[in-house]
Structures are given as C-alpha cells and as structure tokens.
Structure 1
C-alpha cells in the first residue's frame, strides 16, 4: 500500500489524444463520460480535483513545426488554443454529470473562458468545484506536462496524477520490447537520467524541486484513480 491519505488536493493530467478514444473524431462521448465518473469518485472521497488537459487530438504544436514548417511559436500557440477547446468539452461533460466545474485559461479570451487566476482557482477547489486549466503555460516552448507541474505547484497540490495509455512507467517501450520492465516506484532522478520520457525533463525537474509525487497510470481502466487515492499499488509512483 502507498501512503496517499495526504492527497487532499490532486492535479490530474490528461492528454488530448485520450479524449478521442482512438476514433477519427476529436472527442469520444464514452471517454468523456468515463472521465466524469472517475472525477466523481475522487470527489466522493472528499478530494479536491484540478485538471490540465492537452491538445494533441486537435493540434500538436511541435509536430506542426517539424512536419509542416509552421513557425514554432505560432504552432505552439495553435496547440494552446486546442487545449482550450478540449477544456470546454471536458467542462461540458463534467457539468452534464452534475459536477460543478470551472475552466481557466492561461491565454486571455474572456468571451470564451475565464483567465487563470491562482487565488480564484484555489477558492473554487476549496468550495468543492473542479478546476480545469487550459492554455498550457501561456508561453511557447513549454509542454502541457510542464503546465501540469507548474499549476500543481502553484495551487499546492499534494500529487500530480498523469493518465496515459499504458499502465505505468517501463524501462523501454513495452510495445516494442516484450522484456520491458514496469516499475512500481521510480526516483525522478532515474527517470530523468534514463530519459524514459514519462514527462519532459522540465516538468520532472519542477516536480522534483517541489517534492511533488507523480503517479503514472492507465487512463482507460475504470476505478484506477480512486484506487490510487486509496493508496493501492496502481501504475508507477515517481518519487522525489
């Protein structure tokens, strides 16, 4: 059993690609409904839940820059806009499930979404509302993993939970290497030194500095989020 009893406030990082559920459309209603159920279970445990969502199901800034020749700064801003679209979709799904949700963006577009203000975000969390952070960090050259680490640090989260399409961190790509070893726990220094690509190095370095534990787990396994919050051995725990 892991000690997760102190995880009063968590930040959940969801990739944009996860929202389409492998379909050709940007969103999958079953995935959105599943995410709402997972968040509801965490709230029922009296946890405060913040979310950072990526934009890769719509636009990946780095790919636009490398594959299509779009200026990197422009491409990254396009990616940030994609996270706002995803944030709106996720907010709608959570609200439809009866979960009071607020969406804040690092990019200023007040007709569409409220601006990111730390004090308001913390107040919403303390009032039992879910807060979704969109727009990345608001700056180019930084990933949404870094945005997740930054927001988690700013709001005083006790843990960062990264939902992925694999059930933890492996010594190498399990899709390519049948002998890849899955770690139950792993020091962040090892993840950085071995370049395991769990999160980008900037995000991991910030989590290490802030002594913020990171759980990596499989998104599509129902009940995993609640299991982690109960201290069960799900996924991989990156330690500081």
Structure 2
C-alpha cells in the first residue's frame, strides 16, 4: 500500500480555481471535482485535510483599495467572499459524502463555527475536512498568510497550493512567455529574492520560520492532490532543506 508523505495538510485553493472556465463566481462542477479529489485522499490514505479558500473569483480587497475604497473595508468584503466560497465547497464535499466543518475568523454563527484551534484539530482527527474562511479576521492580510498561519496552528505537515491552471512556479508568466522557465524546487529565500509572487512575504516568513513546505501545482489535473500528498514530484516544491536548492 502506498504511504503518504504528509499526514495532515492545508490545501490552499484560489478563488479563481473555483470559478473554473467561467472566470468569475463559482463553477459547481469545479467545486464538485475538487471535493472528489479531496475525498479520494481521505478515503485512500486517511490523510487529515484542512482547506483555506481565496475569494478572488468574487472580490479582491486590494483591487477595491486601488480604486479608492478604504483598504480595511475592502479587505473585510474579501473575507466575506472567502466565506461564500467556503460554503460552496462545503456543500460539494458533503454531497460527495465527506463530513465537513466551516470555521470563520469572523463570527457568523448562523452559517459556520467560529475558528477555535483545538476544535479544528479535533475535527481533523475525526476525519472531517475543516474549511477556514474569512481570512485571519483582520485586514491587510492575504489568504496565503491565512494558509500559513492555520498550517502552523494545526501543525500541518505541508501546504498544498492549488492553482487554477499553472502547474508550478515560473520565472515569468507562462501564458505570455512560452520561454518561461519552470522551477522544480525553490528555497523560501530564493523565492523571495526572485520576487516570484507565489505568496506574500508574511506568508513565506511564517512557512520558513515553522519549516512548512509548500507544493504549488495545477488543481485541475486529476490526481494531483493525491500525488502531492504521496510526495511525487509535481509542480514546484518550496522548502528550507538544502536538497531543494536550484542549481
């Protein structure tokens, strides 16, 4: 039987990934696909899975701020967008037969539990998927930072950064530059020094300080979450160990 490399993971799914080909809003078929991929690894390997979902398919706080909106207000709107996505993913997971809990950093008791670290860990131990919504609960922090923070708090073994259509980290936009080079692996410092924009500096620092590896991959390719959990070489691996330094 195959043995997973990671026993507890945080899957960071971008809002754009949930939008599918329509580019905006939520594609129920894409949500169902992600749910089946998560169900597969839970059933096959009894891996504990938490999810942080972005909100860029509905609203981006930083974009609203750039157009003159108060930054804190724009960011709170973004947190609400992540909650909408979390509820959609919860629905898809439960339709697939996976017990799921949504925990929000801003209390919304009518629709979700408040984020409580020990309760989240207990849910994971019982085989439930926990979806962390509403970011960190504070403005000026990205959902990448949320993923890094929650991964540290629940003592996850890795962050699986599921992208919409990009199969890793490149030195340029592969959709605009066919000569863009894909990185098989990076250190956190190398990622920051190159300004690759995989995640913001706060998220990267949290991962580096807590030695949490990050695997960036294309979520739309069937079986990629499974491959990432098994430790197969897919996408781009970002970590602190010397073995992952590019030559």
| Common topology (TM > 0.5) | yes
Displacement of 1:183: 1.1
Per-residue CA distance 1:87-132 (angstroms, 9 max, x = gap): 1111011001100000000001111211000000000000000000
TM-score (norm 2): 0.93
Q: Which residue of 2 aligns with 1:209?
A: 209
Q: Which moved more, 1:40-49 or 1:20-29?
A: 20-29
Q: Map of 1:214-229 to 2, 5 A cutoff?
A: 214-229=214-229
Compared with structure 1, are the counterparts of its residues 24 and 211 closer, same or farther at alpha carbon in structure 2 (3 Å cutoff)?
closer
Q: Which residue of 2 aligns with 1:114?
A: 113
Displacement of 1:178: 1.9
Q: Which runs of 4+ in 1 moved over 2 A?
A: none
Q: Which residue of 2 aligns with 1:76?
A: 75
Q: Which residue of 2 aligns with 1:17?
A: 16
C-alpha separation in 2, matches of 1:43 and 1:166: 24
Query: What is the DSSP-based 3-state SS (H/G/I as helix, E as strand, rest coil) of the residue aligned with 1:59?
Result: coil
C-alpha separation in 2, matches of 1:195 and 1:204: 12
Q: Which residue of 2 aligns with 1:94?
A: 93
Displacement of 1:24: 5.7
C-alpha separation in 1, matches of 2:4 and 2:29: 30
Displacement of 1:22: 2.5
Gaps of at least 5 residues in structure 2 are 241-247
Q: Is the 8 A contact 2:12 2:161 kept in 1?
A: yes
Q: Which residue of 1 aligns with 2:124?
A: 125
Q: Map of 1:50-65 to 2, 5 A cutoff?
A: 50-65=50-65
Matched, 1:134 2:133: yes
Q: Is the 8 A contact 2:16 2:24 kept in 1?
A: no
Displacement of 1:176: 2.2
Displacement of 1:134: 0.0
C-alpha separation in 2, matches of 1:228 and 1:180: 23
- Number of paired residues? 236
CA RMSD of aligned residues (A): 1.1
Q: Map of 1:171-190 to 2, 5 A cutoff?
A: 171-190=171-190
TM-score (norm 1): 0.96
C-alpha separation in 2, matches of 1:46 and 1:166: 28
Gaps of at least 5 residues in structure 1 are none
Query: What is the DSSP-based 3-state SS (H/G/I as helix, E as strand, rest coil) of the residue aligned with 2:26?
Result: coil
Per-residue CA distance 1:147-167 (angstroms, 9 max, x = gap): 000000000000000011200
Q: Which moved more, 1:214-223 or 1:227-236?
A: 227-236
Displacement of 1:235: 0.5
Displacement of 1:5: 3.8
